[in-house]
Amino acid sequence: MKIGERWKRAFELSRKRITPSRKAIVEVLEEQRKHLSAEEIYSCLREKHKKVGIATVYRNLELLSQMGIVHRVNFGDGKEHYEIARIPALHHHHLVCTVCGRVIDYQDFRKEEHEFMEGLGRVLETKYDFLIQSHQLYFYGICKDCRLKEVGE
Amino acid sequence: MKIGERWKRAFELSRKRITPSRKAIVEVLEEQRKHLSAEEIYSCLREKHKKVGIATVYRNLELLSQMGIVHRVNFGDGKEHYEIARIPALHHHHLVCTVCGRVIDYQDFRKEEHEFMEGLGRVLETKYDFLIQSHQLYFYGICKDCRLKEVGE
DNA sequence: CTAAATGCAAACGATTTGCCTTCTG
DNA sequence: CAGAAGGCAAATCGTTTGCATTTAG
């Protein structure tokens, strides 16, 4: 089942209403398949002629995050970004350049890597009595372009 | 060599001045040994009767982050947090409760875990031509207290 | 001495909130 | 129909910036 069908189910279970705004926001995130800021999502909605206020966008992104339908990611650029939650096999992480802010998505997780995270998660769940729903891994450093520029100076 | 001595060296190398504000900020982060927001650091400084403007706190946290002396961490609560960088063996990660925002520091990395991150980092450096300086792992979920409350409702 | 760093207050920008209207279930 | 959700504009609050002044090297 693709996540697109899955989320309606989640709404029923948590007794939240399925409204046009919510549908539209999930739609945008599914189509774009990348991390977007609230403002970017808002722009996409306007382009599609869906009239949704920015406050509603924020309120629903908060809700969708709590429901685990979207993931909130932060690259230290002053705003939150949101991306649709994928099935574990498509889970990915980010490399953030601390100089220019560029973000590279890293998706080619090898099987061992995936198993490693699962295992670590289970250890933590037991040790801290904490129900883990997701995880995010960030690598910070300097991208190729910025390294070349630095040398040039 | 503890990081406390190490940072002065880093300042000389990057031709940055060692000022009272900078010393004081690093001092606070070393003493507290936990993640603090800019405002919290500012308060600590005032308690210690160090007169440093909030703008200077922000400017220096930015600088210290770029130098790798402090790590910027974000728990999705609307503000950045900062913690002193530790030696790799003391590196730690965070479990964030998506309901109440509580953050648990997880420090008991096993050796394999440490090696795994190193290995993964090297793979990414090669593949994306990206110089990795640090990484952060976040686990998101629901803490014990919040799970108990949810059931009660 | 001079460029770098600071302090202060004003500016900014992302996110939140209050309140009244609209709509889902 | 009742309570949940949305729209709009105002309010909030973490963070940044401009500029005159101080200071480290």
Q: Where are the beta strands (DSSP E) in chain B?
A: 36-37, 70-74, 80-84, 93-97, 103-106, 130-143
Give the closest residue to B120 by CA, choosing from A78, A112, A68, A147. A112
Q: Model confidence at A150, in pLDDT bands (50, 70, 90)?
A: low
Question: Which tops the pLDDT comparison, B84 or B3?
Answer: B84
With distances taken from each CA to the C1' atom of nucleotide D6, the closest residue turns out to be: A56
Domain coordinates in residue numbering, chain A: 1-90, 91-153
Contacts of B49 (CB under 8 A, 6+ apart): none
Are the Cβ atoms of A76 and B76 closer than 8 angstroms? Answer: no
The pLDDT of residue B150 is: 61
Helix, strand or coil, per DSSP, at residue B105: strand
CATH match for B91-153 among 3.40.50.20, 3.30.1490.190, 1.25.40.20, 3.40.50.970: 3.30.1490.190
For A130, the closest of B124, B137, B144 (CB atoms) is: B144
Q: Does an H or E element contain B27, and which? A: helix B20-32
pLDDT at A3 over 70: no
Question: Which pLDDT score is estimated for B33?
Answer: 92
| DSSP assignment of A34-51 | S-EEHHHHHHHHHHTT--
CATH of B1-90 among 1.10.540.10, 1.10.10.10, 3.40.50.360, 3.40.50.300: 1.10.10.10
Q: Which tens digits make up the pLDDT trace of B75-124?
A: 999 999 999 998 877 788 899 998 889 999 988 776 778 888 889 999 99
Distance, in Å, from the CA atom of A24 to the CA atom of A44, rounded to the nearest integer, reads: 10
Candidates A66, A120, A146, A151: best to mutate against B (most CBs of B within 10 A) is: A120
